Structure 1
Amino acid sequence: MIKRIFLTAISLCLFGLASAQDLRTISLVVPFSAGSAQDVFARLISESLGQELQARVVVVNKPGAGGTIASAFVASAKPDGLTYLMASASHHLAGALYPTLTYHPLDSFRGAAFLGFSEFVLITTDSMRTPDLASFVTRVKSNPNVFNYASAGNGSVTHVGMASFLKTANLQMVHIPLKGTSEIINEVLSGRVQAAMVSSIGIYGYRSDPRLKLLATSGSRRSEFFADTPGRVLDFV
């Protein structure tokens, strides 16, 4: 489960800025590439947010380093109420993973709104010939460090989530850090990457693509949006 928290680099309430920032441009910074769950959320709310704040909201993608590039950018932005961060669980994980960050994941920001959450889906390329989670686990376990998996960067929730699953299931795969969900999916579709743990929002449009196998969801119950996905990650952790 991934929580998305809308953060601002200033100590003001989000909806208290409208009258002072009429018709100015607000940058809504997304820490991952276009097509990521955060990017989808940002573009869904940008128009209505702009109407509420009486400003023009521009979505700015700053992917890389597991989301820390975008977070550092917003933390160092001028405190004029015009720069916001569409943060995810990766934002908070970074505080535990990287002790030399130039910002503090909590103290350098102020939360403005909780937007929602998304489950994750374990996907694999059809060329793996593993139609379900059990067969995937068996094949990977029999071939340690032969297959790879992609994530949205070192320290991202897609990295930590998949690494946690592999460790618990006693599996070994090679990590390929990328910059976002769309890039991950493209690599799995091509067969260059064998597996990944991606957000349900990002993979939803590909659920019927024959080049992919959706093996399991991360929730405690089967997702109504992925009713045909046979397994749960929790069955192997």
Structure 2
Amino acid sequence: MDIHIPRRTALAAAVACTAAALALPALGQAAFPKQKPITLVVPFSPGGGNDILARAVAPKLGQLLGQTIVIENKPGAGGNLGTELVARAEADGYTLVIASSQVTMNPFLGMKVPFRIERDFEPVGRMASVPLVLVSHPGEPYRTLQEFMAYSRAHPGKLSYSSPGNGTPQHLAGEVFAKLNKTEMLHVPYRGTGLSVTDLIAGQVQVSFATYASVAQHIQAGKVRALGIAGQKRTPLAPELPTFGDAGLKHYDASLWYSLLAPARTPPDVVARVNEAMVSALNDPAVAKQLAQQGFETQPSTPAELKVFLASELKRWERVINDNHIKVAP
């Protein structure tokens, strides 16, 4: 039996089908991030810079993306454990990692690094930086950076400094300082910033290199004494603190930066969507104010800009680590 479809009805159906076909790509793009919550991996223990940044940005980022952001702390192996989990995750945008300077240092420290940043990740964007500050137990005899430098030279091997772990930027800050200051210090690694600072307050170690964000409240409470900024640029949060450059170490810079990475082969449209939301979250006045109060300087970038920056940092730290003969236990 022949079925006659009126010409007007057939035309309308054809138009509808065409519109639906054209809409398919848009629907595919809109599917992210509606399927499930996004996991934001922090490859260090709570209390450190990565963690503070993640918890400050995640609520606004989730609001902008229209999806819940779940923060998971996965510490271990100098940040390699949590970072590797993301490298091996499905490349769909639902698993991200806040990566710090650490990822451009680890490949040259003699430790096992089960991934390559250039090969196994898609850059999403640079996020922020924070100065490292040298702090001491308030009972120590040195009260200024210059006094500490003189004391450490006069007592090689007698001072111990804590860090969040072997191969962390804080660890390297101490190693490079000791070599430039022509002295020796005992490095005491911990599993995370919280424990590192806690033992400094308890007097188990004499000094520590820490992010300003992680020790600001302890400085204000008098539990630790700030000696100087481990770099060349003063922080507006404590402008009275001298830099190591002020003290004569003109080429010393151990500032710490943070970025957002996704697994390699994450679709470009997903990367662009997350970057757009990340930049908007960092530029939000409330978020920017909160981060500034904790010592962060927001520095949002495009994925392409982060890719170039990562390549330059890999070259820089390879040179610094090799020139200073720094290695950590595998």
Work out whether 1:148 is the aligned partner of 2:153.
no
Distance apart, 1:219 and its partner CA:
3.7
| Match of residue 175, structure 1, among 187, 194, 202 | 187
Equivalent position of 1:205 in the other structure: 217
| Match of residue 159, structure 1, among 171, 180, 189 | 171
Amino acid at match of 1:22: K
| Match of residue 104, structure 1, among 102, 116, 125 | 116
SS in 1 for 2:32: helix
Distance apart, 1:47 and its partner CA:
1.2
Deviates more, 1:131-140 or 1:203-212: 203-212
Structure 1 or 2: more strand by fraction = 1
Distance apart, 1:99 and its partner CA:
6.5
Work out whether 1:88 is the aligned partner of 2:100.
yes
Equivalent position of 2:73 in the other structure: 61
Kindly report which structure 2 residues correspond to 1:215-230, keeping only aligned pairs within 5 A, or say none: 215-229=227-241
Equivalent position of 1:8 in the other structure: none
Counterpart contact for 1:18–1:53, Cα < 8 Å: no
Q: Normalising by structure 1, what TM-score?
A: 0.86
Q: Call closer, same or farther: CA 1:69–1:236 in 2, change over 3 Å.
A: farther
Counterpart contact for 2:134–2:207, Cα < 8 Å: yes
Counterpart contact for 1:31–1:70, Cα < 8 Å: yes
SS in 2 for 1:127: coil
Distance apart, 1:159 and its partner CA:
0.8
| Match of residue 42, structure 1, among 21, 46, 54 | 54
Q: Call closer, same or farther: CA 1:98–1:51 in 2, change over 3 Å.
A: farther
Structure 1 or 2: more helix by fraction = 2
Counterpart contact for 1:122–1:233, Cα < 8 Å: no
Amino acid at match of 1:203: V
Spell out, residue by residue over 1:140-188, the C-alpha distance to the aligned partner (whole angstroms, 9 max, x if none): 2222222211112111111111210111001211111112222221111
Residues paired across the two proteins, number: 221
Distance 2:145 2:52 in 1: 28
Identity value in percent? 27
| Match of residue 71, structure 1, among 65, 78, 83 | 83
Amino acid at match of 1:59: I
Amino acid at match of 2:200: V
Counterpart contact for 1:150–1:176, Cα < 8 Å: yes
5+ residue gaps, structure 1, are 1-15
Spell out, residue by residue over 1:53-77, the C-alpha distance to the aligned partner (whole angstroms, 9 max, x if none): 2221111111122211111111112
Q: Call closer, same or farther: CA 1:125–1:190 in 2, change over 3 Å.
A: same
5+ residue gaps, structure 2, are 1-27, 250-330
SS in 2 for 1:60: strand
SS in 2 for 1:153: coil
Amino acid at match of 2:182: N
Counterpart contact for 1:18–1:54, Cα < 8 Å: no
Distance apart, 1:78 and its partner CA:
2.5
Spell out, residue by residue over 1:96-139, the C-alpha distance to the aligned partner (whole angstroms, 9 max, x if none): 22474221022110111211111110111112121011221222
Work out whether 1:28 is the aligned partner of 2:45.
no
Distance 1:64 1:123 in 2: 24
Distance 2:30 2:130 in 1: 29
Amino acid at match of 1:93: M
Q: Call closer, same or farther: CA 1:69–1:116 in 2, change over 3 Å.
A: same
| RMSD of aligned residue pairs (Cα, Å) | 1.9
Distance apart, 1:17 and its partner CA:
6.4
Distance 2:29 2:200 in 1: 43
Q: Call closer, same or farther: CA 1:184–1:28 in 2, change over 3 Å.
A: same
Q: Normalising by structure 2, what TM-score?
A: 0.63
Equivalent position of 2:244 in the other structure: 233
